[in-house]
Amino acid sequence: MDLALTREEEAFRAEARAWLDAHVPAVAPPSLETAQGFAAHRAWEAELAAGGWSVVDWPARYGGRDCGLIRWLLFEEEYYAAGAPGRVNQNGISLLAPTLLEHGTEEQRTRVLPPMARGETVWAQAWSEPEAGSDLAALRSRAVRADGGWRLSGQKTWSSRAAFADRAFGLFRSDPDAAKPHQGLTYVMFDLRAPGVTVRPIGRLDGKPAFAELFLDEVFVPDEDVIGAPGQGWRIAMSTAANERGLTLRSPGRFLASAERLHALWRERGGPPEEGARVADALIGARAYQLFTYGAACRFLAGERLGPESSLNKLFWSEYDIALHETALDLLGEEGERADTDWAERYVFSLAGPIYAGTNEIQRDIVAERLLGLPKGRR
């Protein structure tokens, strides 16, 4: 067992750091949850891509460096330590791309992935519906067979950044007569500006407008935008949902950087001893998450499939993130009430962690049943 990096890994880390040092904007762009910020973040994605840093773990032919999981983790550590902007195409990169790499056609991959890597196409995830949240399989939006494709109708909601995004991917009921709700769902990609799509922004807790609901009225989707076989949507979506909760949605880099920032804030405030324990716990938690992730990455590289453990990840980072940001606001005292600070923006975002990507109650059920072997409860 060791934590040593190879010379090549160290060199990769140094190369990433040097590039980021030279390119990370000195003044942070506005929030990516606003129209202006969205455009600035798109430009940043293009710059990242030009340097070859936007999707380092992807195959080179789609814009990546084929660099593997460990280097990706190192890159992310450097990325957040450098204070680089948030990733506007997170959903595309961490959810759709792995899905296409596993289940898509080569035609889909070559068409969809390179513009995603360059930030030219920003993707939204259209899974949730007003009546289908935790019980996602209850979704009702339909896909009806049409000439050369499908017509989508219904309503999707809570779609992150859909107010400004270009395209979306989501599940639609293509066989209303299927025996079980999980069956008869089809996974498709569609254009958010196609005829029949209405996007209505929904202000978040802090009023920022990028969140949205989508109304779909007979929106045409060609066959080449169906991912996998029609009717197989659930299986395909679930096989990559673990990505969202597990490794790829939240690498340790972000929390390591946040914990360092919190520690700096605490020192700046004269290191009030009564807050010391919470600051120490933030540092400890970031290290725990880092080492846990290294372990998971090494298991994955050794050929193990990561399964329900990703629910442990999700429970950990979401609770951790809130505790860290609560500590920061408490340290700031009266200033902690201000809405226009980075801390405030991050605090508000952290509050959603236990809700999105499968609520923490649902994750606890998965841990209880699939890792602890407890009897099924009422759902």
Partner 1 sequence: MRFLLDAEQRAFAASLDALLTAADTPKAVRAWGRGEHGPGRALWLRLADAGVFALAVPEAYDGLGLRPVDLAVAFVELGRHAVPGPVVETVTAAALIREPGPAKRLLPALAAGGSVATVAYQGAYALDGDLADVRLSLAPDGLRLAPGHDAVRASLDPARRLTRLRPGGELLGAGPPAPEALLLARLTTAAQALGVGLALLDRTVAYVRQRTQFGVPVGSFQAVRHRLADARTALEFARPLVLGAAVTMAPADVAAAKVSACEAAYATARTALQLHGAIGYTEEYDLSLWLTRARALRTAWGTPQECRAQVLAARA
Show which residues are catalytic.
244
- Tell me which residue has its CB nearest to ligand FAD: 133
5 touches ligand FAD by CB under 6 A: no
The pair of structure tokens assigned to 152 is: 């989508």
Nearer to ligand FAD, 247 or 366 (CB): 366
Binding mask 124-153 for ligand FAD (x = CB under 6 A): -xxxx----xx-------------------
Report the 10 Å Cβ neighbour count for 7: 7
The b/e string for 218-247 (b: 16+ C-beta within 10 A; e otherwise) is ebbbeeebbbbebebbbebbeebbbbbbbb
CB 297 within 8 A of CB 69: yes
Binding mask 300-339 for partner 1 (x = CB under 8 A): --x------x--x--xx-----------------------
125 is in the binding site of which of partner 1, ligand FAD, none (Cβ under 5 to 8 A by kind)? ligand FAD
**43-102 positions binding ligand FAD, by CB under 6 A:** 91
Residue type, 75: F
Alpha-carbon gap, residue 94 to 4, rounded angstroms: 27
Beta-bridged to residue 150, according to DSSP, are 145, 221
Alpha-carbon gap, residue 322 to 210, rounded angstroms: 21
Nearer to partner 1, 8 or 102 (CB): 8
Comparing C-alpha atoms, which of 379, 225, 371, 372 is closest to residue 310? 371
Binding mask 150-189 for ligand FAD (x = CB under 6 A): --------xxx-----------------------------
The owner of tokens 């070559």 is: 110
Q: How many residues in the shown chain lie near ligand FAD by CB under 6 A? A: 18
Nearer to partner 1, 105 or 134 (CB): 134
**349-368 positions binding ligand FAD, by CB under 6 A:** 352, 355-356, 358-359, 361-362
Report the 10 Å Cβ neighbour count for 129: 21
279 touches partner 1 by CB under 8 A: yes
Cα angle 237-241-243, degrees, rounded to a multiple of 5: 130
25 touches partner 1 by CB under 8 A: no
Comparing C-alpha atoms, which of 192, 191, 225, 193 is closest to residue 100? 225
- In the complex, least distance from residue 202 CB atom to ligand FAD, rounded to whole angstroms: 10
CB 159 within 8 A of CB 197: no
Alpha-carbon gap, residue 123 to 156, rounded angstroms: 14
Alpha-carbon gap, residue 250 to 371, rounded angstroms: 21
355 is in the binding site of which of partner 1, ligand FAD, none (Cβ under 5 to 8 A by kind)? ligand FAD
174 is in the binding site of which of partner 1, ligand FAD, none (Cβ under 5 to 8 A by kind)? none
Alpha-carbon gap, residue 39 to 344, rounded angstroms: 22
Q: How many residues in the shown chain lie near partner 1 by CB under 8 A? A: 47
Nearer to ligand FAD, 133 or 181 (CB): 133
- In the complex, least distance from residue 259 CB atom to partner 1, rounded to whole angstroms: 10
Chain centroid to CA 89: 8
DSSP 139: -
134 is in the binding site of which of partner 1, ligand FAD, none (Cβ under 5 to 8 A by kind)? ligand FAD
Binding region for ligand FAD (CB under 6 A): 91, 125-128, 133-134, 158-160, 352, 355-356, 358-359, 361-362, 379
Binding region for partner 1 (CB under 8 A): 1-6, 9, 70, 263, 271, 276-277, 279-281, 283-285, 287-289, 291-292, 294-295, 298-299, 302, 309, 312, 315-316, 361, 363-365, 367-369, 371-378
